[in-house]
Structure 1
């Protein structure tokens, strides 16, 4: 038999109103009375109705998390970090997986799905459509973004340009002059800024060193390892293949490693490969990478969000999380034959 609030009140010898206040942590309940109520509730295995609690408090203790893809490594780890903080604070997640819906995506975020259902919204690496932004303004709930700076809301992110610069500088420092780039394409309806920022970080770093980036040395995948293998084969099968490759993500880089093996190339003796992220598989495959703390970004953004729910004004602050180079066995100096004919490199402007 399911216990009712009246059963808890009778066992504790107090009113149902006192039980409600004690279980919700509200003031004007003595420590001794609260202890009696909590013990009675535990003994009776009573669980308060979240619906009733939200009606009384005006809070749902639910946070909406909007994400482009649930299954991809980066987004799954952001969600993991966010969920950890939310659980600790007694909040629940309402997940909105918008996917690639083209012009119809805005229909996935509407007032019927959000109104009086969430206390706040966390946006993970997604630039919102105008209709979605207007909806969130009308709902007047706190919003924090991850990965995409916004004029209206706080953001937690890494510097994608700087991260790719670090990766490219590592290879140049080893003596590589002919460096290829495997980038991640963006879906037009998603409008991710990351692909363009990372590609620009590669190109401009090469240019600062007086190094050429040919049209054949840049290929684009879809951020997955399978795609990285496909475009990696295209890049590494060329007679003028690069001696090193910067990949825009570790998953793309892992695909490039697979392509190198299939083509009979030794890593790093024939070609060096560096990625970005520090995916779990990077360590297992000896992949040099520029590590970003993905789970921690999810935690940080959620802590900011709950602070706003508690009434603190966060402004439009952008928190940029540092990245770090992690050198493993996939990068080394270029083959002697390549180094002997390498064009001279100018000192970096940075």
Structure 2
């Protein structure tokens, strides 16, 4: 098996120079770096990450914790995260974190403590104080992308503003009987993503004078296509209380709601206007009006913050605790129309 000394001898440099050239750390003249790389390729030398870790104290690995691996939003985030990490020479170690319980506890109390990662990126998880404390004990950078938690660098869209914008769009079109399909636990946890979007809906309705006694037509369901379908059947199945417009907490819920409306013979947008949040890749196919975000770009931005906290890469501007929310925009399509008088 080829060793770094073999590379150095073939390239005519010291072992220290060969190591700097292949690791990218420290100054090496471009011509010398090229000669070392060619020598390494010629004899099939591959640098040992374990050996590099002993020297630098770094594993070149970022731990990513995520609540779903089979949802569009999270898949897009992961693609952006992985692409940016690989470009920076880092690996990704992925952990699925579900509902509170023994399995989730093991991720924080065992794997993230014992596995060697340089930083932790939490995607869309509402972290408990004890979980954040467990991560802080590792003395490694922690970055939150969405979700909720304090004491760590955090990037997120303004979910309350997204809910408010979506509702105001429906109000502007003349709708007053507006319902909201919220994510599960929205009322119980107002600081989580579903809760913040629900809050934006309620504030917009209240500002329009349409929530007497603080009440509004809100149903909670899983933020998925099946969740939107099942809750949509419940919401739309009573003609006397049927809304003329619905704001759903995610585009996938909106797709399910539109399928439920079709099954019930309710035309979208003729009888019902629908708006979601996310900017799903199928939103245009469904003609769905949505408050669009870019999860792939968000993943890349989060990695930029991780690298800055690790002292590598270009400066991220700004850090999440002092910067503006991640961008969103209203994209109007055929699923929302002015209320017929």
TM-score (norm 1): 0.88
2: CA distance, partners of 1:105 / 1:190: 19
CA contact (8 A) 2:289 2:331 kept: yes
Change (3 A) 1:105 1:139: same
Q: Which residue of 2 aligns with 1:86?
A: 85
Q: Give SS of 1:296's match.
A: helix
Q: Which residue of 2 aligns with 1:275?
A: 276
* Root-mean-square deviation (Å): 2.6
Are positions 1:320 and 2:325 aligned together?
yes
Q: Which residue of 2 aligns with 1:339?
A: none
CA contact (8 A) 1:151 1:316 kept: no
Long gaps (5+) in structure 1: 337-350
2: CA distance, partners of 1:136 / 1:91: 20
Q: Which residue of 2 aligns with 1:20?
A: 19
Are positions 1:265 and 2:260 aligned together?
no
| Selected match of 1:332 from 329, 334, 337 | 337
1: CA distance, partners of 2:16 / 2:68: 44
Long gaps (5+) in structure 2: none
Q: Which residue of 1 aligns with 2:99?
A: 100
1: CA distance, partners of 2:165 / 2:289: 12
Q: Give SS of 1:320's match.
A: coil
Matched positions, count: 335
Q: Which residue of 2 aligns with 1:181?
A: 180
Q: Which residue of 1 aligns with 2:290?
A: 289
After superposition, the C-alpha distances for 1:208-262 in whole angstroms (9 at most, x for unaligned) are: 1111479783222100101101110111111121111110100000001101111
1: CA distance, partners of 2:282 / 2:267: 19
Change (3 A) 1:111 1:190: farther
Q: Give SS of 2:220's match.
A: strand
Q: Which residue of 1 aligns with 2:221?
A: 221
Q: Which residue of 2 aligns with 1:246?
A: 247
CA contact (8 A) 1:115 1:139 kept: no
After superposition, the C-alpha distances for 1:167-203 in whole angstroms (9 at most, x for unaligned) are: 1111111111111111110399999711111111111
CA contact (8 A) 1:124 1:145 kept: yes
CA contact (8 A) 1:63 1:93 kept: yes
CA contact (8 A) 1:65 1:123 kept: yes
CA contact (8 A) 1:181 1:202 kept: yes
CA contact (8 A) 1:103 1:189 kept: no
Matches within 5 A, 1:12-51: 12-27=11-26, 29-51=28-50
Q: Give SS of 2:246's match.
A: strand
Deviation of 1:150 (Å): 4.3
Deviation of 1:7 (Å): 3.2
CA contact (8 A) 2:186 2:192 kept: no
Q: Give SS of 1:38's match.
A: helix
Q: Which residue of 1 aligns with 2:231?
A: 231
2: CA distance, partners of 1:190 / 1:143: 22
Q: Which residue of 2 aligns with 1:128?
A: 127
TM-score (norm 2): 0.90
Deviation of 1:9 (Å): 2.6
Q: Which residue of 1 aligns with 2:143?
A: 144
Query: Once structures 1 and 2 are overlaid, which stretch shifts more, 261-270 or 213-222?
Result: 213-222
Deviation of 1:124 (Å): 1.1
CA contact (8 A) 2:153 2:321 kept: yes
Change (3 A) 1:285 1:35: same
Deviation of 1:292 (Å): 1.2
Change (3 A) 1:217 1:135: closer
Matches within 5 A, 1:144-163: 144-148=143-147, 150-163=149-162
Query: Once structures 1 and 2 are overlaid, which stretch shifts more, 9-18 or 180-189?
Result: 180-189
Q: Give SS of 2:287's match.
A: coil
CA contact (8 A) 1:186 1:192 kept: no
